[in-house]
Structure 1
Amino acid sequence: MLPALAQFRVEVSGVGLTQLPIALVPFRGQDASPQKISDIVQADLERSGQFRGVDASGQALDDASRPDWSLWRQRTADSLVGGSITRMADGRFDVKFRLWDVVKGQELGFQNYTVPQGDLRLVAHRIADFVYEKLTGEKGIFSTRIAYVTKGGSRYALWVADADGENAQAALASSEPIISPRWSADGQQLAYVSFESRKPVVYVHNVSSGQRRKVADFKGSNSAPAWSPDGGSLAVTLSRDGGSQLFTIPAGGGEPRRLTQSASIDTEPVYSADGGTIYFVSDRGGAPQIYKMGAGGGNPARVTFSGTYNISPSISGDGRWLAYISRVGGAFKLQVMELATGNVASITDTSADESPSFAPNSKLIVYATHLQGREALMTTTLDGKIKARLAGQAGDIREPDWGPFRKQ
């Protein structure tokens, strides 16, 4: 991994309909710490769209104190987090925190971490995950990772970062384009397309070791990799037999098996979470639309009917939602379809959206867009009400992909 160059600033905008008011008191000892734990936790929770921060200024509280319930009720907090961070003799940090229910006047949980300095951000994200799950009943995604590509001058880089965009590490740098990064379901590998040999070739990259291997380097174009949920194979778009068609190929490499037989361009495959269905883009009807078929091939069924140009499908892990990009007039807009009803909502007011990818809990989408004349990463709630900008400093940002839940 190369050193981190891309630093991010998170700006949250919008107001959700129901947000849980939570107070995060600055952790005792965090002024002397390299990471402000309570600030990171609060930013995570607010970015989710489910929480609203309550003013905790002027208050001291840690994991060993008992809260003054009347004070926090007066400040309209429903829940409360307090903790401490202590540097130990061996250089590691001891982080403790408690979560309280202010309405009921009772503790909801306590956790303790002992970690090296480099893991303090991860601990903050894990605290946010704990709070989110306790208060919403669903898994938090703050300790997950995203991958994305930047272009700065004539240099391209593939980055792996925390879900808030911080702590970015370069996995690959090249003078030729890198496109279509896709996480494996275990979070250990990234598939992507590199043009370093002056043509598109699909690679699989081990994120922790940096080792990589070619998976598809056939005659013509090799593009648009998508992992099967079991990690055993990839769906890819190959033009080796003429037009661009969908194939599956073993993740270790080998002979591809053709899935589609059409005179059209079939590309951008993505698997449903259960592995039984592949969604993809085809112009077989005259213009790009999203279709689906069984993972082994078969007769495709059209999924998108509104608009004349729909690309870049992403399926939520719970199987309920399809996110995609639609050309509306001259603008490219992020759309979310409820698959059961076919209802479609346009959820952005930007006009150059691209590459949507769902968080593993299906509650947020990361995408790239143009804001104020430059490319930026955004997250949005599925209703479009809460958006957060992850503003990078390392060139144009594109093609984000949200990784899976991390193993504890």
Structure 2
Amino acid sequence: MKKAWIFVLWVTLWSHLAHSQQLVVEVTQGMDSANPIAVVPFAWSGQPLNEDVAAIIGQNLERSGFFKSMARENMLSFPSTQEQVFFRDWRVQKNDYLVIGRMEPSGGDQVSVVFELYDVLKEQRIHAQQVSGSTANLRDVAHFISDIIFEQLTGIKGAFSTRIAYVTSEQLGPNQQRFRLHMADWDGMRPRTILESSEPILSPAWSFDGSKLAYVSFETSRPSVYVQHLATGQRERIQSFPGLNGAPAWSPDGRRLALTLSKDGNPEVYVLDLQSRNLERMTNNSAIDTEPFWSPDGRHLYFTSDRGGSPQIYRLDMSSRGVERVTFEGNYNARGRLTQDGRFLAMVHRGSSRRFQIAVQDLQSGRLDILTNSDYDESPSIAPNGSIIIYATQQGTRGVLAAVSLDGRIRFNMPAAQGDVREPAWSPFLR
């Protein structure tokens, strides 16, 4: 059993990887009651811009699954001020909400954007705001405005300004691959390569302030943990030990990393203080203990262990060192992740169907819901607002990223133009 499990954790991740291009979001299932919204092209009188801010906002809202964005060709008018809005036109076309805006040069490469959000049925303005940005960062402006609109209409903080990290591999020839660690906008746009290597890259993990990525690289021919500072590009190799060095997870205060090490002969969970380099062993069991992750308050470490006969998720109290089992349903529960409120636990689950699927467990009630219906899903990562779980799966013969809402009502895929992508990690809020 242990050999088979280690194989799942470390080998099958790379069985289908190939060349990856920019990701593209394809909504496959939205809410039955998705709110119709019209995002009118923003007025602009300057030189042509390299980004369409209103189009990006509409795409963000549509791709969230909570909204259905109206096609521009169906719009009867293109208002940019309140005086130009005729609510009857938008009501006849069954829109619940309307977004209008105008943009003006404000000196140098700066642009001033004023947007307004309306409730069409009530004929009321819900919100208006002015935002500034540079012509080179109009996507950031659009994501920021999308966050505001999303929160105004749903009560949930928007996560459009966040980033995702993921790993790809390019087959260069027989027994030769090129692995890449990427960072991109939440929607896969503006991808940036963080690291290239001829050896595998695994387990990217964001620090809680979003300034660093920890990951596992085999570039020295054995697994080592590295920390990359995203602003400067500087990276450092964390203290490396013989055997397995893997599954890094940041503490909420950013001062410690939880790791899986086999330096004493068996995979166990350790905590490394990044300043003092003091290493503390947290588990001591003849079973495999791996995949640690922290509770948001830092008081507990969760981890995967087969000490009960099959991989399940356990919780360790950092003060008492007491360990309790958390998952019981199914014969395989692993790669857990918590929502920021600590209530919901996402995981890779296998039950009687023998399929590896993404499931979520309510830690208050104990209820477990299976969210996906694929045969082999892996590596769940939760958006910082707790609304969406991104994960790796198979689409035909290719590996893709996919996402599902915490209640299972929203689904979308993020395939690359060609090839596969694995190991997604969603950033925390970045502003």
Judge same fold: TM > 0.5, yes or no.
Answer: yes
SS at match of 2:56: helix
- 2:371, 2:267 → 1: CA distance? 31
Paired position in structure 2 for 1:110: 128
Deviation of 1:354 (Å)? 0.8
TM (norm. structure 2) is 0.89
Post-superposition CA distance 1:3-52 (Å, at most 9, x none): xx832222112131432221111222499332222222122112222222
Structure 1 residue 330, shift from structure 2 partner: 4.3
Aligned to 1:22: 37
Distance 2:54 2:25 in 1: 15
Q: Does the 8 Å CA contact 2:30/2:411 hold for their aligned counterparts?
A: no
User: 1:167-213 CA distances to partner (integer Å, 9 max, x unpaired)?
Assistant: 11011111111100000010000011111111111111101111011
Q: Is the 8 A contact 1:216 1:222 kept in 2?
A: no
- Tell me how far 1:233 sits from its aligned partner: 0.4
Q: Is the 8 A contact 2:40 2:54 kept in 1?
A: yes
Residue in 2 that maps onto 1:75: 93
1:266 aligns with 2:289: yes
The question of whether the paired residues in 1 share the 8 Å contact of 2:24 and 2:417 is answered with: no
Matches within 5 A, 1:243-392: 243-252=266-275, 254-296=277-319, 298-328=321-351, 329-392=353-416
CA distance in 2, matches of 1:362, 1:134: 17
Residues in 2 aligned to 1:27 and 1:265: alpha-carbon distance in whole angstroms: 56
Equivalent AA in structure 2 for residue 133 of structure 1 = E
Q: Secondary structure at the match of 2:54?
A: helix
Question: Which of residues 134, 154, 172 is equivalent to 1:136?
Answer: 154
Report the Cα distance in structure 2 between the residues aligned to 1:202 and 1:165, rounded to whole angstroms.
25
Q: Work out the CA distance in 2 between the residues paired with 1:266 and 1:374.
A: 30
Correspondence 1:34 to 2:68: no
C-alpha offsets along residues 289-324 of structure 1, whole Å, 9 cap, x if unaligned?
A: 111111356221111111111111011112121111
Shift of the alpha carbon at 1:352?
A: 1.6
Deviations 1:259-318 (A, max 9, x none): 011111100001111111111100101111111111356221111111111111011112
- Pairwise CA distance, 1:396: 2.0
CA 1:251–1:65 in 2, change beyond 3 Å: closer, same or farther? farther
Which moves more between the two structures, 124-133 or 26-35? 26-35
Please provide the CA RMSD for this pair.
2.0
Q: Could you tell me whether the CA contact under 8 Å between 1:377 and 1:389 is conserved in 2?
A: yes
Which segment is superposed worse, 193-202 or 107-116? 107-116
1:369-405 CA-partner distances (Å, limit 9, x unpaired): 1112211111211122211212224642111111011
Partner of 1:163: 186
The separation in 2 between residues aligned to 1:22 and 1:322, in whole angstroms, is 32
**Is 1:406 matched with 2:406?**
no
- Partner of 1:180 in structure 2? 203
CA deviation string 1:135-174 (max 9, x = no partner)? 1222100001111111111011111111111111011111
Deviates more, 1:225-234 or 1:85-94: 85-94
Please list the CA deviations of residues 62-90 of structure 1 after superposition, one character each: whole Å capped at 9, or x if unmatched. 14644111111222222110113445663
Using the aligned pairs only, state the percent identity. Answer: 42
Q: Tell me the secondary structure at the aligned position of residue 216 of structure 1.
A: coil
Unaligned runs of 5+ in 1: none
Over 3 Å counting, the alpha-carbon distance change for 1:373 and 1:271 in structure 2 is same
8 A contact 1:215–1:252 mirrored in 2: no
**Cα separation, partners in 2 of 1:297 and 1:162, compared to 1, 3 Å:** farther
Moved more, 257-266 or 338-347: 338-347
Distance in 1 (CA, whole Å) between partners of 2:271 and 2:319 is 9
Q: Distance in 1 between matches of 2:269 and 2:426?
A: 23
Any gaps of 5 or more consecutive residues in structure 2? 1-19, 172-176
- 1:126 aligns to what SS in structure 2? helix
Does the alignment pair 1:226 with 2:281? no
1:204 aligns with 2:227: yes
Partner of 1:145: 163
C-alpha displacement at 1:102, in angstroms? 1.6
Q: Which residue of structure 1 aligns with residue 14 of structure 2?
A: none
SS in 1 for 2:147: helix
Which of 47, 51, 56 lines up with 2:67 in the alignment? 51
Query: How has the CA–CA distance of structure 1 residues 10 and 87 changed in structure 2, closer, same or farther, with 3 Å as cutoff?
Result: farther
Distance 1:349 1:301, change over 3 A: same
* CA displacement, residues 88-135 of structure 1 (integer Å, 9 cap, x when unaligned): 663443333111122222222223333223311111111110101111
Count of residue correspondences: 403
Q: Is the 8 A contact 1:190 1:204 kept in 2?
A: yes
**Secondary structure at 2:321 match in 1:** strand
State the AA in 2 paired with 1:81.
Answer: V
In the other structure, the counterpart of 2:8 is: none
Helix, strand or coil for the counterpart of 1:34?
A: coil
**Cα drift, residue 341 of structure 1:** 1.4
Would the aligned equivalents of 2:225 and 2:245 in 1 still touch at CA under 8 Å?
Answer: yes
Q: 2 CA distance for matches of 1:309 and 1:399?
A: 19
Matched, 1:121 2:139: yes
Amino acid at match of 1:100: Y
| Compared CA separation, residues 132 and 322, structure 1 to 2 (3 A) | same
Residue equivalent to 1:6: 21
Cα distance in 1 for partners of 2:425, 2:35 equals 28
